[in-house]
Structure 1
Amino acid sequence: MPHAIEYDRFGGPEVLEFREIPYAVAGPGQAVVEVRAAGVNPIEWKLRARLRPSGEITAPRRLGTDASGVITEVGSGVEAWSVGDEVIVVGARGAYASELAADASQLIPKPEALSFEQGAALGVPAGTAHQVLASLGVAEGDTLLWHGGAGAVGQAAIQFARRLGAEVVATASERNHAHLRELGAVPVVYGAGLADRVRAAAPQGVTVAVDGVGTDEAIEVSKQLVADPDRIGTIVRGAEADGFGIRYWSGGGPEPLTAAEQALRFEGVALAAELAARGEFVIEIAHRYPLADAAEAHRQSQTGHVRGKIVLIP
């Protein structure tokens, strides 16, 4: 029997249960994917802990949107995919599972050069980074300040921004500075005096900033350094963004992503997969856990000190 991670009540990681589930069935326009790896994203433990609203639980809930695997069945109307195709799944429901049914529109070909773990690590990080940079109009001549450069989204953002011709300053713990330099960013330590350290790192000035960590410091320093508030955004504190006078994308904000923003996210995953297959995009896997150990993966994610991506292996 296939298995999935489910929970019946809000709470800590201990509410996650490893359970047998019915076999997935491909409906019209869908494909069943045998999951080889699933990505863990912070939004998932925030939903589980009820730090983000999601309505009352009336039936067992599953987690996860990012996965990679092999198609084992295709439904009616699916012509672009065949049994045996290796795919990346983006925006699925219940990706913490050994198999799942996904819409054909949620699938991207997994390049042969990418591992299944790398494919599963791309969804939210690469999609978010690409969309946010596009929405902010990041281009050659810009200097981007990204708060939280060592996380999976931050690493993707640094690489995309550098490809666009922008300079990047990224905050991170000192132990992660060498890696961020390799990605093309100028790293700075967060904490007291951050604004002055950023000014020293970018004497030309900062033109655009993104809060990827959710701290007051990230918001305040961004507003100090960037003249145009329309070029400051957050992906963490969306619910408060209007009060700060900055932009937001998800992050608990009241407005969902637009269709154009969703399309940008999907585009970003496909682009990152293509670049990674050519050795032009780094995908760092921080931790690997068996699917049954999803609770431990959430505990690790909740520390806020993960460099790269956590993946689950069914």
Structure 2
Amino acid sequence: MTTAHGWVATRFGGFDDWEFIEREVPAPGQGEVSIRVRASGVNPADYKHVSMPNPGLELPVPIGYEVAGIISAIGPDTEIATGGGRVGDPVVAFRISGGYSTELTVPSGDVLAKPDGLGFPEAANLLLAGSTASQMLHVVRAAEGETVLLHGASGAVGVSVLQQARALGVRVVGTASEARFDEVRRFGGIPITYGDGLVERARDAAPDGFAAALDAIGTDEAVDASLELVDDRSRIVTIAAGPRAERNGFVAINGRQPQSMEYRDSVRADLLRRAGEGELVVPIARTYPLPDAREALTFLQSGHPGGKLALLSPRH
């Protein structure tokens, strides 16, 4: 058994109450893999899920859903999700617990081979945002030749939606601040600003109308515009406005729903393949040493990171 350092939430609330602790890493049993972490992905979900008590969530809570690293040990008669797996292989693990760590043991079904063409910080930030974006497009049945409205086009999920929609032949009009217009255009979107006059600007950008709307920010403005511009509420999806979806009869998805977990698991390997081939890009804004997780999350909460953030573990 080895030891590692990692972040845990010791109280529900803000990340000021998190602690960076030393803990034992159990040796992997059958169906388990130990990973020496090189990079940990940073996502809003990392702090949101411990912002308040939830059923089945017991303190202290290990933090972090996705990592990229090297297999340090593998259980007997065990293969990773993409097949095979040996000590020393570079891998990605997604929907795990405790990713803000230098080493951890996780179920082998959550571990996939990392493509050679994908860096560790990028790999550690691909799957949560990428699988969410994929499910959003899947839920609204986005099809070649259609135009969709995307709220939050320059965020992590939005950037992945832009790239995946372009591959499908779907035209995207996306909201962003003017400072981020070039980023939206870089990935094939047509940028418009949010704020007063949003509906009119959207109609000007898509005179033939919108087949669907995807909301990645959850504001009332975004929801109201979606409802006004898309008649079929089964083709409106949000990842951030669940109460409005329930009230107004459109679709809300989140990673805790069984159907979401099943779908997102089904696209992991394909997203990794496409990223390894350069079809999907994960823009990295900054990296931080793992002990500086609070600083990274403070920057993330600023709302303008300009790309993904990664926590880097010291080399072993």
TM-score (norm 2): 0.93
Change (3 A) 1:283 1:58: closer
**Is 1:157 aligned with 2:156?**
no
Corresponding residue to 2:93 among 89, 92, 102: 89
Corresponding residue to 1:142 among 138, 146, 154: 146
**2-structure distance, mates of 1:276, 1:58:** 35
Corresponding residue to 1:23 among 25, 29, 34: 25
Residues 123-169 of structure 1 deviation map (CA, whole Å, 9 limit, x = unaligned): 21001011121122111122111110111111001110111111001
Q: Residue in 2 aligned with 1:219? A: 223
- Residue identity matched to 1:277: G
Q: Kindly state the Cα deviation for residue 58 of structure 1 after the two structures are TM-superposed.
A: 4.4
Q: Residue in 2 aligned with 1:101? A: 105
Q: Determine what percentage of the aligned residue pairs are the same residue.
A: 38
**2-structure distance, mates of 1:278, 1:56:** 39
Listed as ranges, the matches of 1:1-314 within 5 Å are 1-50=3-52, 53-55=53-55, 58-79=58-79, 80-250=84-254, 256-259=256-259, 261-314=260-313
Q: Secondary structure at the match of 2:20?
A: strand
Q: Kindly state the Cα deviation for residue 56 of structure 1 after the two structures are TM-superposed.
A: 7.8
Q: Kindly state the Cα deviation for residue 75 of structure 1 after the two structures are TM-superposed.
A: 0.8
**1-structure distance, mates of 2:133, 2:230:** 19
CA contact 1:195–1:221 (8 Å) conserved in 2: yes
- Residue identity matched to 1:66: E
Q: Secondary structure at the match of 2:300?
A: helix
**1-structure distance, mates of 2:149, 2:57:** 39
Change (3 A) 1:46 1:106: same
Q: Kindly state the Cα deviation for residue 203 of structure 1 after the two structures are TM-superposed.
A: 1.1
CA contact 1:288–1:310 (8 Å) conserved in 2: yes
Q: Secondary structure at the match of 1:48?
A: coil
Q: Kindly state the Cα deviation for residue 270 of structure 1 after the two structures are TM-superposed.
A: 2.5
- Residue identity matched to 2:33: A
**2-structure distance, mates of 1:119, 1:65:** 13
**2-structure distance, mates of 1:304, 1:54:** 25
**2-structure distance, mates of 1:283, 1:305:** 16
CA contact 1:8–1:57 (8 Å) conserved in 2: no
Q: Secondary structure at the match of 1:25?
A: coil
Q: Where do 5+ consecutive residues of structure 1 fail to align?
A: none
Q: Where do 5+ consecutive residues of structure 2 fail to align?
A: none
Change (3 A) 1:217 1:68: same
Further displaced range: 169-178 or 301-310: 301-310
- Residue identity matched to 1:88: V
Give the total of aligned pairs: 307
Q: Secondary structure at the match of 1:191?
A: coil
**2-structure distance, mates of 1:43, 1:278:** 28
Q: Kindly state the Cα deviation for residue 257 of structure 1 after the two structures are TM-superposed.
A: 2.3
- Residue identity matched to 2:156: A
- Residue identity matched to 2:264: R
Q: Secondary structure at the match of 2:21?
A: strand
CA contact 1:122–1:269 (8 Å) conserved in 2: no
Q: Secondary structure at the match of 2:24?
A: coil
Q: Secondary structure at the match of 1:21?
A: strand
